[in-house]
């Protein structure tokens, strides 16, 4: 069996398991997993830039917020139905990521990190400044009656779960296919040795530009999906902590692995969920576990499995 066939079987199997869990899990965990899949989609987008291209962004929350506010404002103020509003959210994220990429890619290394952080803070402060429309710190709620597509009520737990699964599956399969294509291999080449990739005749800037745009658009799709499925749009999602979260999820799951972002998001979510039920100092427990993983599983959970036992893992 070829590596591409194994990769397809792995992703198809994962999607099938997630589909089955939608019918088997109790409502509480069904809701949790729906939220996790949306956030994992965000991490998948981040992984394209960081895990595969090797560009560390500290401002990815601006793309998540662009998709969220693009959809949210289109529905809340414009009265648009979900599908056109979702497209607006994607366009907003793609446009913002294009602008940021054209400017930020003039820098490298630490400077790139700082520039993305500055842009993200500018977007966050803009959301607060335009509080008349965005709701400022408090944000706004999208009316439950408007969150329907083709007669399906997205506020219903199972429908919401399946919608989250659809978006996550699309992001996962697109990313997996992209990394198997020559474009994805060039991105990996840029990560491993940018100078050699340039010497081989590839347009490194064009590939990095495309990587930022694709990463930002997938992250924006996650933001738009979150607003649509959970009905809330708030400035918190554009803050620094929401730029750090996808980095943690990708590092925990395994940077440069297709399923790592989901594994990292699941692990982090339930680690905090269960430890908070044991003690008020749950962040201490989470911190200790994260430090141990950093020390003994430097490639991340999926990355270590790939390095030690299953070398073909995508």
- Tell me, yes or no, if the pTM score tops 0.95: yes
Closest C-alpha to 65, from 276, 240, 304: 240
Calpha distance 293→266 (Å, rounded): 15
Helices marked H in 130-156:
131-134
CB distance 43 to 265 below 8 Å: yes
For the chain, the distance separating the N- and C-terminal CA atoms, rounded to the nearest angstrom, is 14
What pairing do the DSSP bridges indicate for beta strands 232-233 and 148-149? Answer: unpaired
Q: List the structure tokens of 62.
A: 């601006």
pLDDT confidence of residue 118:
97
Helices marked H in 57-156:
61-76, 82-104, 110-129, 131-134
For 213, how many CA atoms within 13 A lie in the half-sphere containing its CB? Answer: 13
Structural domain spans, the chain: 3-239
For 277, how many CA atoms within 13 A lie in the half-sphere containing its CB? Answer: 5
What are the per-10-residue average pLDDT scores of the chain (314 residues)? 88 98 96 98 98 96 98 96 98 98 94 96 97 95 94 96 98 96 96 95 97 98 98 96 95 96 96 88 85 90 94 92
């Amino acid at each position: 069996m070829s590596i591409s066939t194994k990769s397809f079987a792995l992703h198809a199997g994962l999607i099938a398991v997630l589909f089955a869990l939608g019918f088997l899990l109790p409502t509480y965990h069904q809701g949790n997993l729906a939220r996790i899949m949306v956030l994992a989609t965000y991490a998948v987008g981040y992984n394209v830039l960081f895990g595969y291209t090797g560009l560390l962004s500290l401002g990815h929350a601006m793309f998540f917020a662009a998709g969220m506010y693009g959809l949210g404002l289109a529905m809340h103020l414009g009265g648009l139905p979900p599908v056109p509003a979702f497209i607006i959210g994607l366009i907003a994220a793609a446009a913002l990521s294009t602008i940021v990429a054209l400017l930020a890619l003039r820098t490298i290394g630490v400077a790139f990190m700082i520039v993305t952080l500055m842009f993200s803070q500018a977007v966050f402060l803009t959301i607060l400044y335009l509080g008349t429309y965005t709701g400022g710190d408090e944000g706004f709620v999208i009316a439950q009656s408007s969150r329907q597509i083709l007669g399906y009520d997205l506020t219903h737990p199972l429908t919401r779960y399946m919608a989250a699964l659809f978006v996550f599956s699309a992001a996962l399969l697109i990313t997996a296919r992209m990394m198997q294509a020559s474009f994805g291999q060039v991105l990996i080449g840029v990560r491993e040795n940018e100078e050699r990739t340039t010497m081989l005749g590839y347009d490194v800037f064009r590939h990095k530009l495309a990587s930022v745009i694709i990463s930002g658009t997938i992250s924006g799709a996650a933001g738009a999906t979150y607003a649509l499925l959970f009905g809330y749009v708030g400035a918190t999602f554009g803050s620094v902590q929401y730029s750090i979260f996808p980095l943690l999820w990708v590092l925990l799951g395994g940077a440069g692995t297709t399923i790592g972002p989901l594994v990292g998001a699941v692990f982090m979510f339930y680690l905090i969920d269960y430890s908070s039920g044991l003690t008020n100092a749950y962040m201490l427990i989470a911190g200790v576990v994260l430090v141990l993983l950093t020390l003994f599983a430097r490639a991340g959970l999926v990355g270590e499995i790939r390095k030690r036992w299953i070398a073909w893992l995508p």
